[in-house]
């Protein structure tokens, strides 16, 4: 939740607790129970925030001491435990200590790090008296998040020690069932250190865990315990970090050349890089392997990885090979064919023919290459800019934008009038960005033809008068003639 929402919630909770109906109290209790642990901690902090510009969110302590609502209603005691008045928090803790509801447990946990010992001590005593795995799944998550505060570390240690004394050394296994990532990370560290997660249970956890940090911890532990099983699970598994751990950490005794060559053709660049390093460590040359696979005419599905490997090992294709691959049906193969083109790179004709490519990555690469070609002129893109296909017009705009200086401004103004709302929006955003960050450092004045084109496009551009005035100033255009008669000739 955002901070303004939590500020508003603090004020609303105070009103519900002090003068609300039973339905209001029920709604408040339901809302507090549904809060995420991090939001509950922030709400507790915000409720005690002192500001000279507004009264406390929960009001003055005197308003809470009238009557016995704090003792009679759980939600009132919970919100009262957030109050900045230490006497009221102490009273609320005594009321909460006699209740076993989950909301009472959460509220007591927050008070275990209170700076007032008369509040902190009874809150810890009450919390330790109800320690169980069921409560711990929620409480440990909150305690882990405040463990860096004063008294937070000791509160966490006390609760975990009490939990272990009641449930035994396997208490952490019960914490693995929670959906709270922070709790699972802690629990995995405990069960692995105690040797309570091994064999197929560990393999099941590696393959089923969705948290990347926890999965990495489990994978590293599996490599240490059973390298052979780890190779089967990690080296050819679906997770990139698992394949990386296998390549970097598995001993040479369990790796063979076929395993490494399979990973040399991995879709992930990071995995291919690690496999190339490991392949060299084994005394083989990845560049020779990629060249051999390339000469074997691999299918398009594999050719992209082979071409990427050739590029990563510093090799180039011949012109005929590169031209053939730039016409492939696979976008990744077309891209690799362009990137591996022998120096000085593809000709303008080849690049212009690829401006209508269906793959955005290929078009972006082609546009960048054309922009770097000093022989490309703004007018060379006229045909592409007037195409019926929106993706071709967008490609023409990308090239003109890359030409820089006044070609960029002119291209943005022209593309802003495009029928494709996506292209016109991108062009307007780019023009405003140019005005903010680049206009002041463009020292070259526009050519007469550029100035005339900019002035014509500016007249019909959907820009504010202030933005148009800035563009006129930077382009050196004269101010437009005022509309209507001058004030001194108004008669």
pLDDT tens-digit map of 433-471: 998 888 888 888 888 888 888 888 888 888 888 888 888
What is the rounded distance in angstroms from the CA atom of residue 79 to the CA atom of residue 17? 8
The domain boundary, picked from 244, 262, 280, lies at: 262
Question: Which has more confidence, 315 or 240?
Answer: 240
Our CA angle for 70, 73, 76, nearest 5°, is 55
Q: Is there a domain that residue 228 lies in? A: yes
Question: Which has more confidence, 366 or 246?
Answer: 246
Reply yes or no on whether the pLDDT at 54 is more than 80: no
pLDDT value at residue 490: 55
Q: Is there a domain that residue 414 lies in? A: yes
Reply yes or no on whether the pLDDT at 57 is more than 60: yes
Q: Long-range pairs for 86-90 at CB < 8 Å and ≥24 separation? A: 86/116, 86/118, 86/119, 87/61, 88/61, 88/64, 89/114, 89/116, 89/119, 90/116, 90/118, 90/119, 90/122
pLDDT value at residue 275: 95
Reply yes or no on whether the pLDDT at 485 is more than 70: no
pLDDT value at residue 259: 92
pLDDT value at residue 383: 86
The domain boundary, picked from 210, 231, 262, lies at: 262
- Using DSSP's 3-state secondary structure scheme, residue 417 falls into coil
Q: Exposed/middle/buried for 192, CB within 10 Å: 0-12, 13-18, 19+? A: buried
What counts of helices (H) and strands (E) characterise the chain? 31, 0
Q: What is the mean pLDDT of residues 234-259?
A: 92
pLDDT value at residue 481: 59
The closest of 209, 255, 208 to 231, measured between CA atoms, is: 255
Q: Exposed/middle/buried for 148, CB within 10 Å: 0-12, 13-18, 19+? A: exposed
pLDDT averaged over every residue in the chain: 86
The domain boundary, picked from 237, 262, 287, lies at: 262
Structure tokens belonging to residue 480: 């437009």
Q: By percentage, how much of the chain surpasses pLDDT 90?
A: 29
Reply yes or no on whether the pLDDT at 240 is more than 90: yes
- Would you place residue 262 in the very low, low, confident or very high pLDDT band (cuts 50, 70, 90)? very high
What is the rounded distance in angstroms from the CA atom of residue 393 to the CA atom of residue 407? 15
pTM above 0.75, yes or no: no
- Would you place residue 483 in the very low, low, confident or very high pLDDT band (cuts 50, 70, 90)? low
Q: Is there a domain that residue 65 lies in? A: no
Structural domains counted in the chain = 2
pLDDT value at residue 487: 57
Contact 400, 368 (CB under 8 A): no
Reply yes or no on whether the pLDDT at 181 is more than 80: yes
Reply yes or no on whether the pLDDT at 65 is more than 80: no
Q: Is there a domain that residue 473 lies in? A: yes
Q: What is the mean pLDDT of residues 291-316?
A: 84
The tens digit of pLDDT for each residue in 78-107 reads 999 999 889 999 999 999 998 888 899 889
- Would you place residue 188 in the very low, low, confident or very high pLDDT band (cuts 50, 70, 90)? very high
Q: Is there a domain that residue 203 lies in? A: yes
Reply yes or no on whether the pLDDT at 277 is more than 90: yes
- Would you place residue 122 in the very low, low, confident or very high pLDDT band (cuts 50, 70, 90)? very high
pLDDT value at residue 361: 85
Asked which of 18-27, 124-133, 218-227, 451-460 is least confident by mean pLDDT, the reply is 124-133
Give the structural domain span for 451: 404-477
pLDDT value at residue 366: 85
Q: Is there a domain that residue 208 lies in? A: yes
Q: Is there a domain that residue 24 lies in? A: no
The tens digit of pLDDT for each residue in 394-411 reads 888 888 888 878 888 989
Reply yes or no on whether the pLDDT at 418 is more than 70: yes
Residue partners of 108: CB distance under 8 A and separation at least 6 = 81, 93, 96, 97, 123, 126, 127
* Chain centroid offset of residue 58 CA: 35
Q: Is there a domain that residue 192 lies in? A: no
């Amino acid at each position: 939740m955002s901070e303004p929402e939590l500020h508003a919630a603090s004020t609303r909770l105070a009103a519900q607790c002090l003068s609300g109906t039973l339905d209001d109290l029920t709604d408040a209790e339901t809302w507090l129970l549904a809060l995420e642990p991090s939001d509950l901690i922030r709400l507790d902090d915000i409720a005690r925030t002192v500001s000279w510009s507004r009264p406390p969110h929960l009001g003055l302590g005197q308003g809470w001491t009238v009557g016995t609502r704090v003792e009679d209603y759980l939600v009132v005691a919970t919100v009262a435990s957030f109050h900045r008045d230490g006497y009221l928090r102490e009273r609320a803790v005594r009321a909460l200590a006699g209740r076993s509801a989950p909301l009472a447990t959460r509220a007591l946990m927050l008070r275990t790090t209170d700076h007032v010992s008369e509040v902190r001590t009874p809150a810890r005593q009450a919390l330790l008296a109800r320690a169980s795995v069921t409560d711990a799944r929620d409480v440990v998550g909150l305690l882990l998040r405040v463990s860096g505060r004063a008294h937070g570390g000791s509160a966490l240690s006390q609760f975990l020690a009490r939990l272990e004394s009641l449930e035994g050394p396997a208490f952490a296994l019960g914490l693995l069932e929670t959906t709270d990532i922070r709790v699972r990370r802690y629990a995995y560290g405990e069960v692995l250190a105690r040797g309570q997660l091994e064999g197929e249970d560990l393999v099941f956890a590696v393959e089923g865990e969705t948290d990347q940090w926890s999965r990495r911890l489990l994978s590293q532990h599996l490599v240490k315990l059973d390298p052979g099983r780890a190779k089967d699970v990690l080296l050819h598994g679906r997770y990139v970090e698992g394949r990386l751990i296998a390549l970097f950490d598995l001993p040479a005794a369990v790796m063979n050349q076929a395993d490494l060559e399979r990973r040399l053709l991995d879709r992930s660049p990071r995995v291919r890089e690690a496999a190339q390093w490991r392949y060299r460590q084994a005394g083989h040359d990845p560049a020779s392997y990629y060249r051999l696979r390339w000469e074997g005419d691999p299918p398009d599905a594999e050719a992209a990885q082979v071409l990427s490997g050739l590029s990563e090992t510093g090799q180039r294709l011949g012109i005929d090979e590169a031209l053939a691959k730039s016409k492939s049906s696979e976008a990744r193969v077309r891209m690799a064919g362009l990137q591996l083109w022998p120096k000085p790179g593809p000709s303008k004709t080849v690049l212009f023919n690829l401006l209508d490519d269906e793959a955005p990555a290929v078009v972006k690469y082609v546009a960048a290459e054309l922009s770097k070609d000093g022989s490309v002129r703004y007018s060379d893109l006229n045909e592409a800019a007037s195409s019926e296909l929106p993706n071709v017009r967008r490609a023409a705009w990308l090239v003109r934008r890359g030409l820089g200086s006044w070609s960029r401004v002119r291209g943005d103004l022209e593309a802003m009038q495009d029928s494709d709302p996506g292209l016109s929006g991108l062009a307007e955003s780019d023009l405003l960005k140019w005005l903010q960050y680049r206009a002041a450092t463009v020292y070259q004045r526009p050519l007469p033809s550029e100035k005339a084109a900019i002035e014509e496009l500016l007249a019909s551009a959907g820009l504010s008068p202030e933005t148009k005035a800035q563009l006129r100033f930077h382009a050196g255009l004269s101010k437009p003639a005022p509309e209507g008669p001058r004030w001194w000739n108004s008669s």
